[in-house]
Amino acid sequence: MLKFKKGAGWILVIASVFLGLGIVLGENLSLFKKVLPYTGLGLLPAFAGFYLIRGKEKIRVTLRDMKVYTLITLFLPLFAYILIWLPAKWKGVSRTEQDFAFDASSVGWISNVQTILLTGLLICFSYIFLKTFRRIRGYVWGLLVLFLFLYSGTLLSTMDDFRAIRDDGIVQVELGTKEKVSWMEVEEARLIPFIDYPLFTDEEVLSWKFEFDTEEGETYTFDSFFYEDKQVKESLSVKAKVMEEGIPFTIVKMNEDQWNLLEEEDREGTNLRRDYYELIGYDAFYGKYLGDIE
């Protein structure tokens, strides 16, 4: 009987987590209209599930479990909405119909710093939320304020930053400074495959970048492309535009590690592999590259 109660409790908890996240992250209801379904389909089933698991003798533990539940399904999503999604939406306003590719970030190292600061901020917030306020040491509050201050500062300083490859050239806004390069000024372009290693993970991602060399000796790099259908189609549009403008275009050959990763990442039943081959100038029938290859 005890095992049945605990099993039923875990089913309720798991279901309430998915329902709670679905309600909070869903876009079909306003914030205030989410309160009732979140309470009825999230909080109450979660409490019932934890109660079945813990028993009435451990009601304090059940209440602690509920804090964990609300942190995961409510506060962390709201946190992400305010600090990640809203700024990204703000930057998306800069995108135009002329863009072949658009990247809301500009300075790569700042993006990495922001990720580290945001991670520290989330850890401090979670720790404070789950602990009793009287038991929290002053340095934790200090770290929370520091991370919030630094993250907000880097976010505000790069709020208008973006990079775009457009029909009339390249646009880059970096720390508020805007640079625009017409296609007439681009002397050479390259496509370079590489393996990316996202921060805080051991994942390998097949990626590539475009480099554009100008008459002034400047090189503009767009390195946010990875092996997904949308990214490949955008890259094909960039490649077509470069060829249309008559700019010398070179593709760097993939190495063995990149080919092995491509085999692992391939999606069956899609045209992704075919489109990617077209992008890198590879003829699968003859097993060789075509065009200007390094």
106/86 Cα distance (integer angstroms): 17
- Please provide the DSSP assignment of 132-152 as one string: -GGG--HHHHHHHHHHHHHHH
> Do 171 and 180 touch, CB atoms closer than 8 A?
yes
Mean pLDDT estimate for the chain: 83
Domain ranges for the chain, please list them: 1-74, 175-289
Q: Assign 80 a pLDDT band (cuts: 50, 70, 90).
A: confident
Of 199 and 103, the structure prediction assigns the larger pLDDT to 103
Quickly count: other Cβ atoms within 10 Å of residue 233's Cβ. Answer: 14
Strands (E), the chain: 99-103, 162-166, 169-174, 177-182, 186-196, 205-214, 219-226, 249-251, 282-283, 288-289
- Helix, strand, or coil here: 194? strand
Query: Residue 46: what pLDDT?
Result: 87
> Do 209 and 222 touch, CB atoms closer than 8 A?
yes
Query: Residue 245: what pLDDT?
Result: 93
Q: Assign 95 a pLDDT band (cuts: 50, 70, 90).
A: low
Query: Residue 292: what pLDDT?
Result: 59
Query: Residue 31: what pLDDT?
Result: 67
Task: Using alpha carbons, select from 124, 158, 152, 156 the residue that is nearest to residue 140.
Answer: 124
Share of the chain above pLDDT 90, in %: 25
For the stretch 8-35, pLDDT in tens is 888 888 888 888 888 887 766 676 778 8
213/221 Cα distance (integer angstroms): 9
Q: Phi and psi at residue 229, in whole multiples of 5°?
A: -55, -50
248/190 Cα distance (integer angstroms): 8
Query: Residue 188: what pLDDT?
Result: 95
For the stretch 218-274, pLDDT in tens is 999 998 899 999 999 999 999 999 999 999 999 999 999 999 988 887 665 568 888
163, β-bridge pairs: 103, 172
Query: Residue 267: what pLDDT?
Result: 65
280/208 Cα distance (integer angstroms): 10
Q: Assign 210 a pLDDT band (cuts: 50, 70, 90).
A: very high
For the stretch 162-189, pLDDT in tens is 888 999 999 988 877 888 999 999 999 9
Of 213 and 86, the structure prediction assigns the larger pLDDT to 213
Task: Using alpha carbons, select from 170, 165, 151, 148 the residue that is nearest to residue 234.
Answer: 165
Quickly count: other Cβ atoms within 10 Å of residue 93's Cβ. Answer: 9
> How many residues in the chain?
294
Q: Phi and psi at residue 272, in whole multiples of 5°?
A: -60, -45
Q: How far apart are the first and last CA of the chain?
A: 69
Of 60 and 233, the structure prediction assigns the larger pLDDT to 233
Structure tokens at 90: 């703000």
Structure tokens at 48: 């019932």
Q: Assign 108 a pLDDT band (cuts: 50, 70, 90).
A: low
Q: Which long-range contacts (CB under 8 A, 24 or more apart) does 269-272 make?
A: 270/229, 271/229, 272/227, 272/228, 272/229, 272/232
Decide if pLDDT at 126 tops 70.
yes
For the stretch 142-157, pLDDT in tens is 898 999 999 888 888 8
